[in-house]
Chains A and B, each alone.
Chain A
Amino acid sequence: MSAQDPRAELVSLLPRLRRFAFGLTGDAHVADDLVQAGCLKAIERWHQWQPGTSLASWMFRILQTTWLDEYRSRQRQQTEADSEALEAIAGEDGRRVVEARSDARVVRRVIAELPEEQRVVLMMITVDGLSYKEAAEALGVPMGTVMSRLARARARLADAIGGEGS
Chain B
Amino acid sequence: MKIDDDTLIAYLDAQLEDDAAYEAVENALATSPALRARLQVLAESGELARQAFDAKLEEAVPPQLIAAIMNAPLPGTEAGRATQDPAQAVTAAAVREATEDAAAPTPHAVRPTAARPASPSLGTRLAAWLGQGFGGAAAFASIVTLALGALIGHYLLPPAELAAPLARQGDPVRNPAVAVALQAAPSGLAVDVGDARLEIMASFTGHDGRFCREYSLSSPQTGQEIGIACRGAAADTGWQLAFVASEPADPAARGGYATASDRLHEAVDAFLGEHIQDGPFDAERERALIERGWAAD
| Chain A residues close to B by CB (< 8 Å) | 1-3, 5-8, 10-12, 14-16, 18-19, 22-23, 32, 35-36, 39-40, 43-44, 46, 101-102, 104-105, 107-108, 111, 122-123, 125-127, 131-132, 147-148, 150-151, 154-155, 157-158, 160-163, 165-166
Contacts and interface: CB of A to CB of B under 8 A. Distances in A.
A7 B52 contact: no
B69 A11 contact: yes
B167 interface: no
Given A107-B48, A166-B41, 7 more contacts: A7-B74, A32-B62, A39-B68, A104-B51, A108-B53, A157-B45, A163-B40
B79 interface: yes
Q: Is the interface of B mostly helix, strand, loop or mixed?
A: helix
22 contacts: A5-B143, A8-B147, A8-B150, A11-B69, A14-B69, A18-B56, A18-B61, A22-B56, A36-B65, A40-B69, A44-B75, A104-B52, A104-B53, A107-B49, A107-B52, A123-B53, A151-B9, A154-B42, A157-B49, A161-B48, A162-B44, A163-B45
A40 B5 contact: no
Q: Which of A5, A46, A102, A123 has the most CB of B within 10 A?
A: A5
A157 B9 CA distance: 12
Contacts of A166: 37-38, 41
A104 B56 CA distance: 11
Interface in B55-85: 55-59, 61-62, 65-66, 68-70, 72-75, 79
Contacts of A1: 79, 139, 142
B292 to A, nearest CB: 15
Given A22-B53, A36-B65, A132-B15, A2 B41 contact: no
Contacts of A151: 4-6, 9
A39 B52 contact: no
A162 B49 CA distance: 10
B72 A39 contact: yes
Interface residues of B, number: 48
A7 B140 CA distance: 11
Contact of B52 (A35, A111, A155): A111
Query: In the complex, which of the residues B4, B56, B65, B123 has the most CB atoms of chain A within 10 Å of its own CB atom?
Result: B56
In terms of DSSP, what is the predominant structure of the interface of chain A?
Answer: helix
B61 A43 contact: no
B61 A14 contact: yes
A7 B44 CA distance: 37
B37 A2 contact: no
B55 A12 contact: no
B164 interface: no
Contacts of B170: none
A92 to B, nearest CB: 22
Nearest to A6: B74
B45 A161 contact: yes
Contacts of B70: 7, 11
B259 to A, nearest CB: 27
A166 B45 CA distance: 13
Highest count of chain B CB atoms <10 Å: which of A7, A102, A126, A154: A7
Contacts of B69: 7, 10-11, 14, 36, 39-40, 43
Contacts of B68: 36, 39-40
Nearest to B73: A43
Nearest to B47: A126
B102 interface: no
B112 to A, nearest CB: 24
